[in-house]
């Protein structure tokens, strides 16, 4: 991009002496280094002149936008910081709740384990009691069989017809013993 140098001595509407299109001899005799130096001086002069013409440096729209964005960003950061703090507080509350629920779960698990152990013990006792009752019942049935065979000598019985699981044999034995005792007591008097 070519920047036209402005001379401080000439007015902005008057071209600088080296820019005159009719002055070909002057532009042709200059060397490249002179032109380069002149271009750099002209650029400096342009920026100096534009600064003098504009007065104090003015903030351009881009810088104003950056400042506005920075302010908005600052407010946003502050708001996000508040949100983060609130989220951390909520997280802490949830962690405390989780911990209390975990303790409660552990206590309930322990209680369930104890109850299951007690239930198992009760079931084992009941099973043992049932086995004991079965053993007692079979012992009683066997005893009734033996008593019935003894009673056959004194009382007519059909052993195939007798239900040994009920107390029929017990009653027959009781009647027989009563009759024997009464006959012995009458003979002894």
Residue 63 covered by a domain: no
Pair 179, 114 in one domain? yes
N-to-C CA span, the chain: 159
Residue 41 covered by a domain: yes
Pair 116, 50 in one domain? no
Pair 98, 180 in one domain? yes
pLDDT tens digit string along 22-31?
444 444 445 5
Pair 105, 176 in one domain? yes
Residue 120 covered by a domain: yes
Residue 175 covered by a domain: yes
- Give the count of beta carbons closer than 10 Å to the beta carbon of residue 144: 21
Measured in degrees and rounded to the nearest 5, phi and psi for residue 158 equal -105, 105
Residue 62 covered by a domain: no
Share of the chain above pLDDT 90, in %: 35
DSSP character string of 29-45 = HS-HHHHHHHHHHHHHH
Q: Which domain holds residue 147?
A: 94-184
Pair 102, 176 in one domain? yes
Pair 99, 150 in one domain? yes
DSSP character string of 71-94 = HHHHHHHHHHHHHHHHHHHHHHHH
Instruction: Please count the structural domains in the chain.
Output: 2
Residue 72 covered by a domain: no
Pair 123, 176 in one domain? yes
Pair 105, 179 in one domain? yes
Position 7 pLDDT exceeds 60 = no
Residue 86 covered by a domain: no
Contact present, 163 and 140 (Cβ < 8 Å): no
pLDDT tens digit string along 112-167?
999 999 999 999 999 999 999 999 999 999 999 999 988 888 888 888 888 888 88
Pair 176, 121 in one domain? yes
Pair 118, 180 in one domain? yes
């Amino acid at each position: 991009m070519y920047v036209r140098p402005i001379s401080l001595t000439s007015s902005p509407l008057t071209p600088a002496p080296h820019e005159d299109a009719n002055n070909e001899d002057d532009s042709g005799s200059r060397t490249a280094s002179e032109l380069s130096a002149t271009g750099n001086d002209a650029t400096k002069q342009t920026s100096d002149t534009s600064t003098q013409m504009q007065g104090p440096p003015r903030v351009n729209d881009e810088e104003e936008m950056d400042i506005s964005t920075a302010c908005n960003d600052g407010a946003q950061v502050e708001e996000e910081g508040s949100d983060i703090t609130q989220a951390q507080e909520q997280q802490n509350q949830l962690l405390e709740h989780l911990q209390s629920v975990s303790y409660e779960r552990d206590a309930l698990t322990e209680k369930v384990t104890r109850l299951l152990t007690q239930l198992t013990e009760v079931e084992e006792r009941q099973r043992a009691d049932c086995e004991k009752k079965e053993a007692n019942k079979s012992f009683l049935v066997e005893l009734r069989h033996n008593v019935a065979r003894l009673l056959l000598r004194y009382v007519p019985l059909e052993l195939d017809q007798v239900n040994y699981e009920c107390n029929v044999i017990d009653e027959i034995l009781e009647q027989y013993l009563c009759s024997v005792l009464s006959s012995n007591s009458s003979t002894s008097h």
